[in-house]
Amino acid sequence: MASASVSASPSVLLPTYARAPVAFERGEGPWAITADGTRYLDFGAGIAVNALGHAHPHLVKTLTEQAGKIWHTSNLYGAPDGERLARRLCEATFAERVFFTNSGAEANECAIKMARKYHAAKGHPERYHIITFEGAFHGRTLATIAAGGQQKYIDGFGPKVDGFDQVPFDDEKALRAAITPETAALMIEPIQGEGGLRTVPGRFLKLLRELCDEHGLLLIFDEIQTGVGRTGKFFAHEHYGVTPDIMSIAKGIGGGFPMGACLATEEAASGMTLGTHGTTFGGNPLAMAVGNAVLDVVLEPAFIDHVRQVALRLKQSLAELKDKHPQVIEEIRGEGLMLGLKLRTLNTEFVNEARAHGILVVGAGDNVVRLLPPLIISDADVAEAVKRLDAAASAVEAGLKRPAAE
Ligand SMILES: Cc1ncc(COP(=O)(O)O)c(C=O)c1O
């Protein structure tokens, strides 16, 4: 599927991304459309961001109405829409306090600072270490690359921010051994996104809660990718009945408008007193209006049921696809509409073939292809997606059969 929608002049953007040779001008529900009208089924949703698809009428109406009123006021003044969004998030979760940010990494920065400050305010400033898990991804700021612990993101950026101790995934012994009198918190994604759709076993999440209670640590869940209905619950930790003290969210809550938030219990947030943290843009009226509009839809009782039903259909179809293409697909992973194909062939090649067959999917670590469609997809969209993924898998398979010299 060729597209002539990418500029021919050399890019002056920082070349930190290997951009695909396609650009989108508009979108309709699960479809992303180029300037020449080529339509792609968007099963990446901007990496789990466009929870309600593209150009959702309620979001468009809300944003345009807000744009005609006021764009920005700063946190120096009252924020009625921010208060409302925060209250709604608290009512729907464990949380009692909310700090709004512009991105996921900033939500994690707030979570990290909050955990450290909690102990410092109680007279233990030496308790600033946070234990994280191999394969984690928490963002690209200096602290969050240290938290994620991936060398490829850390190298070349000076000394790694101190105070992050990493242990292997799902390794109780290593975790117990890593907890010291300097530990402040444990931080984990209930399902690793960038790390390759690795689901943390429920018993391990329960163990984390127990260890936090036993040692006076705070439990931080990074639900930036898993949150806001993505896994078939409002937040993924609800599948396991384990509640964090602090939770970072972003992506889906803005439905495409850049925003995030750090949610916490009153106790966990108790160190964050006047002047201890701030942001110019976080909680901006445009973002707050959109966040409230996203909740209007996602918190409708039938919405998450829909996610679960359509996700089940997608997962079943993907299992059939795996049986049909055993040379290409090794395993289906994930929960709800956060699904992954663990491949035997190169995931980047599959992503390109999928795009060539009119469907957008996203690569992840561990040679996984992520499917993160908008939560509003229908059964017909699932059928269409599977048809296109089937064609992509067949193309990859055909490549395997070609002689190497070709
Ligand atoms: C689990 C997780 N944490 C943090 C981040 C960072 O979010 P952002 O890119 O908005 O800073 C991401 C982004 O992919 C993520 O998936």
- Residues 159, 237 within the same domain: yes
Q: Is residue 258 situated within a structural domain? A: yes
Cβ–ligand 1 distance for 104 under 6 Å, the answer yes
Q: For 152-167, how does the pLDDT look when each residue is reduced to its tens digit (9 = 90+)?
A: 999 999 999 999 999 9
Q: Can you give the pLDDT at residue 404? A: 60
- Residues 294, 332 within the same domain: no
Cβ–ligand 1 distance for 105 under 6 Å, the answer yes
| pLDDT surpassing 60 at residue 406 | no
- Residues 214, 325 within the same domain: no
Neighbours of 78 (CB within 10 A): 8
| pLDDT surpassing 90 at residue 255 | yes
Q: Can you give the pLDDT at residue 402? A: 77
Measured CA to CA, the distance from residue 28 to residue 382 in angstroms comes to 16
Nearest CA owner, ligand 1 atom 4: 138
Backbone phi, psi, residue 349, to 5°: -65, -40
Q: Can you give the pLDDT at residue 267? A: 98
Range of the domain at 322: 304-336+394-401
Average the pLDDT over 250-271 and give the result: 98
Q: Which residue has the tokens 């930190």?
A: 16
Q: Can you give the pLDDT at residue 4? A: 45
User: How far is the centre of ligand 1, averaged over its atoms, from the C-alpha of 111 (Å)?
Assistant: 13
Cβ–ligand 1 distance for 136 under 6 Å, the answer no
**pLDDT band for position 9 (cuts 50, 70, 90):** confident
Measured CA to CA, the distance from residue 37 to residue 328 in angstroms comes to 31
| pLDDT surpassing 80 at residue 7 | no
- Residues 119, 214 within the same domain: yes
Q: Is residue 359 situated within a structural domain? A: no
Cβ–ligand 1 distance for 138 under 6 Å, the answer yes
User: How far is the centre of ligand 1, averaged over its atoms, from the C-alpha of 265 (Å)?
Assistant: 22
Nearest CA owner, ligand 1 atom 16: 225
| pLDDT surpassing 60 at residue 92 | yes
Q: For 203-226, how does the pLDDT look when each residue is reduced to its tens digit (9 = 90+)?
A: 999 999 999 999 999 999 999 999
Q: For 192-201, how does the pLDDT look when each residue is reduced to its tens digit (9 = 90+)?
A: 999 999 999 9
**What spatial distance separates the first Cα and last Cα of the chain, rounded to whole Å?**
22
| pLDDT surpassing 70 at residue 274 | yes
- Residues 100, 219 within the same domain: yes
| Nearest ligand 1 atom to alpha carbon 47 | 14
Average the pLDDT over 129-136 and give the result: 98
- Residues 228, 316 within the same domain: no
Backbone phi, psi, residue 192, to 5°: -70, 125
- Residues 294, 308 within the same domain: no
- Residues 265, 310 within the same domain: no
Q: Can you give the pLDDT at residue 2? A: 47
User: How far is the centre of ligand 1, averaged over its atoms, from the C-alpha of 107 (Å)?
Assistant: 9
Nearest CA owner, ligand 1 atom 13: 139
Q: Is residue 120 situated within a structural domain? A: yes
Q: Is residue 341 situated within a structural domain? A: no
Measured CA to CA, the distance from residue 234 to residue 298 in angstroms comes to 8
- Residues 202, 238 within the same domain: yes
**The total number of structural domains that make up the chain:** 2
Q: Is residue 67 situated within a structural domain? A: no
Mean pLDDT of the chain: 96
- Which CATH number do you get for residue 111? 3.40.640.10
Question: Dihedral of the CA atoms 144, 150, 156, 157 (nearest 10)?
Answer: 10
Q: Is residue 26 situated within a structural domain? A: no
- Residues 206, 104 within the same domain: yes
Cβ–ligand 1 distance for 139 under 6 Å, the answer yes
| pLDDT surpassing 90 at residue 5 | no
